[in-house]
Amino acid sequence: MSFRMGLRPLLVCFALLCAGRLAPAQIKVGVINLQKAVFDTAEIKKADQEMQMRYKPRQDRLQQTQEQIQRIAQQLQAGAGKLTPQQEAELQAQGQRLQKEGQRLQDDLQADVTADRNEILSKSSQKMSEVVKKIAEEKGLDLVVETSATIFVKPTLDLTADATAAYDKTYPVGTTPAGK
């Protein structure tokens, strides 16, 4: 019985020694800041410029409406006690109408911008995932993780700039409209 008890620690040590020698190969890992990689692409920069130009007239109209509201408020303040009740009521009604119009313009603009932005980013993110997979295969990586999920990363493991460059090479601006 004492022989068996003395054999157990020896067997455990032997098993640990063998396991250490048979340890699996090192896992090769890369990290990426996916959001930065996507936002730094030429395609996204071009899409941003196009969206700014497309929505500028509506933004200008919204700003004009807000300026009109401000002028009416100033007229009401400057005319306090000088305007007839009818003039004051007309200015207040005009201001309320413009406020409703401005709110509608802002809501519509925001909804359209958000929808366009989400569509463009969704398509670009899908394409970026394909690019990252290709880079991982080329570099023999077993795993690529988002930088937000890491605490410490050696800069040599960061694939963000490589992914942006590969994306721009794979999807050059001008070959397809942004977001299409």
Note whether 147 and 31 are within 8 A (CB).
Answer: yes
What's the domain count of the chain? 1
Note whether 95 and 72 are within 8 A (CB).
Answer: yes
Supply the pLDDT for residue 79: 84
pTM here is: 0.71
Please indicate, yes or no, if residue 1 is contained in any of the structural domains.
no
If you average pLDDT over every residue of the chain, what do you get?
Answer: 86
Please indicate, yes or no, if residue 79 is contained in any of the structural domains.
yes
φ, ψ for residue 150, nearest 5 deg: -120, 155
Please indicate, yes or no, if residue 110 is contained in any of the structural domains.
yes
Instruction: Inform me whether the pLDDT recorded for 3 exceeds 50.
Output: no
**Lookup: tokens for 62:** 């919204």
CATH of the domain at 156: 3.30.910.20
Beta-bridged to residue 32, according to DSSP, are 146
Please indicate, yes or no, if residue 138 is contained in any of the structural domains.
yes
The range of the structural domain enclosing residue 68 comes to 28-170
